[in-house]
Amino acid sequence: MAVAAVKEYQFAPADSMDKFHGAQLLYIGWEDHLMFCAPFAFPFPPTMRFGDIIAGVLPGVFGYHPDFAQIEWSKVEWFKSGQPWQPDVEKSLADNGLKHKDVIRFRTPGLTGIKGSFS
């Protein structure tokens, strides 16, 4: 059964960027590693260098997984909103085209969880 709205539904989002004091939310997930079942949300300044996320943030989030130490970052496949994407690690989030509430995921070829279990 289809449902139709009787009038346009408009409201201000409760998680708009102005609520994060100059930061923007960025969701980051690791493909083929269901130990982390959903992307994590981070409030980062748009000026933050993408490489600083790889070096300074991701180890604290994903580093306890045994595959993490084996990642060859030059071979990682990145996705932005489900589409293949290649970040420039030297550029800021804004310069990489990342906006508030964007979702990025990364796949690590050859690494598919504990003993290949995708966990």
Burial of 68 (0-12, 13-18, 19+ CB in 10 A): middle
Integer Cα distance of 111 and 9 in angstroms: 44
Total residues found in the chain within this entry = 119
Given the DSSP bridges, would you call strands 102-107 and 24-30 parallel, antiparallel or unpaired? parallel
Confidence class for position 13, pLDDT limits 50, 70, 90: confident
In this model, does residue 9 exceed pLDDT 80? no
- pLDDT tens-digit readout, 60-116: 999 999 999 999 999 999 999 899 999 999 999 999 999 999 999 999 999 998 888
Amino acid at 78: W
Q: Do 38 and 29 meet the contact criterion of CB atoms below 8 Å apart? A: yes
Integer Cα distance of 100 and 93 in angstroms: 10
Sequence-separated (6 or more) residues with CB below 8 Å from residue 106: 28, 29, 30, 31, 76, 77, 78, 79
Token pair, residue 21, equals: 């004091």
Judge if pTM exceeds 0.95: no
